[in-house]
Amino acid sequence: MSETHPAALPVPPVTRGATPSAHGAAPAARHSRQGLSLLVIATAQLMVVLDSTITNVALPRIQDALHFSGANLSWVVNAYALAFGGLLLLGGRAGDLLGRRRMFVVGLLVFSAASLAGGFATSQAWLLVARAVQGVGGAIVAPAALSLIVTTFPEGRPRARAMGVYSAMSVAGGAIGLVAGGLLANYASWRWVLFVNVPFGVAAALAAPLALAGEPRRPGRLDVPGALTGTAGLSALVYGLSSAATGPDGVSHWGDAKVVASLAAGVVLLAAFGLVEARSRHALVPGRLLRDGRRLGANLVMFGVGTVLFGVFFFLTLFAQEVWGYSAIRTGVAFLPLTAATLAGSAVASALLPRIGARPLLLTGTVGCAGGLYWLSLMTENSGYVGGLLGPILVTSAGLGLVFVPLPLVALDGVADADSGVASSVLNAGRQIGGAVGLAVLSTVAWTAVAHSARTHGAYRHALVVGFDRAFAVGAGIAALTLLITITMIRTRRTGPTQPGR
C-alpha cells in the first residue's frame, strides 16, 4: 500500500486502513452494493441537513400553535443546531469504537423517533426536547455517513463521485428544506415538517445492513465529560451572543446580567473542555489530528463556511419575507436557483478534482463566497429579484459547491482508519458550530444596526435592510478570512501523473 507524502495532498486521498491495494478493492467496497450504499448515505445526509432549515418557514405556525414568545421561538432552531454541533465529536468517536454502520442505524432511529415525537408536541418544552434529541441523532448519523464513504468507496473516481453526491446533499439540503417547509406549512400542517423525516429515516435504517459492511468493536472509551462541557459551553456562548443585540429602545444589552453570566459561563466551560481534553486518554479531539497544518486549515475553512451557509439561509429568508413581503412558498421557490448552482458547483468540483487538485477549487470557491456575500450587502428595499438577489446567490452558492467537495478530502487525507470517524466529526462540527456561533454574531450585528437605523430614521423596513446588509458584509469578511486561510495553510504539490496538486 502506498502512503501519502507528508507535504502532498493526492486527490483523491489515501486513507490508511481503508484504501484498496493495487490488487483489489477494500473489503468494505467489495462486499457492498455501491449504488445502494450511496443512496442510503445520501438519504441520511439530506435528511439531517434538511432539518436544519425545514422548520424555518414554519416558525410562525409553530409560534401560534404552542404560544412561543419571540425570544423563545429561536430555540426551536437552536436546540437542534447546538445538540447537533456540540455532540458531533462524541458521535464520531462512538462510530470509531462501536462500529460505524451500527451507530449509523442507531442515529437514524433516534432521529426518526424524535421527529415523530416532535410532530405530536402539545407544549413548548415537549417540542424543544424533541428538537434537541433530533440533534443527538444527527450528531451520530453525520460523522458515520462521511466515514462510511471513505471506507466503502475505493480511491479514485468512485470516491470522488460519492463525495460529490454527499457534498451536494450537504449544501442543497438547506435550500430544499426551505421549499419543503413552505409547502408543508401552507398546505398541510407545521407538524409535517417533522413527520416527513420518519419514513425516510426508517427506510434508510432498514436498508443500511443490506448496503453497508459491518465492523467489529474497537477497544476504547467515550469522553462523556468532554462532550458535556463542550456542548454546555457552546450553548452558553451562543445564548449570550444572541442576547447581546441592541434592543428597539436603543439600549445595548452587552452589560445585562444574563448576557455577562452566559458569556462567562461559556468561557469557563470551554476552558474546562480544553483541560478535560488535554488530560483525557480518550479525548474527543486527539491532538495528532490537528498537528497537520492542512487538516487544521480545512477545519478552519469549514468553520467559516458554516457561518456563510447559515447566514445566507437565515438572513435571505428574513429579507425576502420581511422586506419584500414574499410568502413562505414564494421564498422557497426563490431559493431554487441556489440549489441548482450548488449542485452545479459540486459537479464541476467532482470532475476537476482528480485533474487540478483541491487547492485551486478551494481558492476559487472562497473567492466566490466572499464576492457573492458582498454583492448581497448592496441590496435595497427597491431591488428586484433578478437584479438584486439572483446574481449574488448564484455566485455564493456556486462557490459553496466548489468548496464542499474538496474540503472533506483534505481533512481526511492521511487519517488512520481508527480515527476517520472522529476526523469526520471534527469537520462536521466545524460547520455546525461555526454556523451557530457565526449566526449569533451576525444576528447581534444585524439587530443592533436595525435598532440604530430605526431610531435615527424611523423607517423600520429601511432599517431592516440596513441591518441585513450589515450582516452580509460581515459574512463577506469572514469568507475573505477563509480565503486567507486557504492561501496560507492548504498547500499541495504534484506527486504523480494522476495526482495533481497546485
CA distance 365 to 402: 5
CA distance 481 to 420: 27
Residue 326 confidence (pLDDT) above 60? yes
C-alpha closest to that of 94 among 79, 117, 110, 112: 110
CA distance 479 to 367: 8
Give me the mean pLDDT over the 324-348 stretch: 84
Q: What is the secondary structure of 380-391 as a DSSP string?
A: -TT--IIIIIIH
Give me the mean pLDDT over the 442-463 stretch: 85
Q: Which amino acid is residue 268, in one-letter code?
A: V
Supply the pTM of this predicted model. 0.75
Residue 499 confidence (pLDDT) above 50? no
CA distance 73 to 204: 31
Give me the mean pLDDT over the 458-464 stretch: 86
C-alpha closest to that of 32 among 109, 96, 100, 111: 100
Residue 222 confidence (pLDDT) above 90? no
Is it true that the peptide bond before 12 is cis, omega within 30 degrees of 0?
yes
3-state secondary structure of 261: helix
Percent share of the chain, pLDDT over 70: 86
3-state secondary structure of 164: helix
- Residue-wise pLDDT for 72-86, tens only, equals 666 787 788 888 888
**In this predicted structure, what is the pLDDT of residue 291?**
78
Convert 175-225 into a string of H (helix), E (strand) and C (coil).
Answer: HHHHHHHHHHHHHCCCCHHHHCHHHHHHHHHHHHHHHCCCCCCCCCCCCHH
Which grid coordinates belong to 162?
460519492
Q: Which amino acid is residue 381, in one-letter code?
A: E
**In this predicted structure, what is the pLDDT of residue 18?**
40
- Residue-wise pLDDT for 276-311, tens only, equals 888 877 777 777 777 788 888 999 999 998 888 777
Question: Where is pLDDT greater, at 208 or 249?
Answer: 208
- Residue-wise pLDDT for 22-72, tens only, equals 444 444 444 446 788 888 888 888 888 787 778 877 777 787 889 876 456
With beta carbons less than 8 A apart as the criterion, state whether 238 and 78 touch. Answer: yes
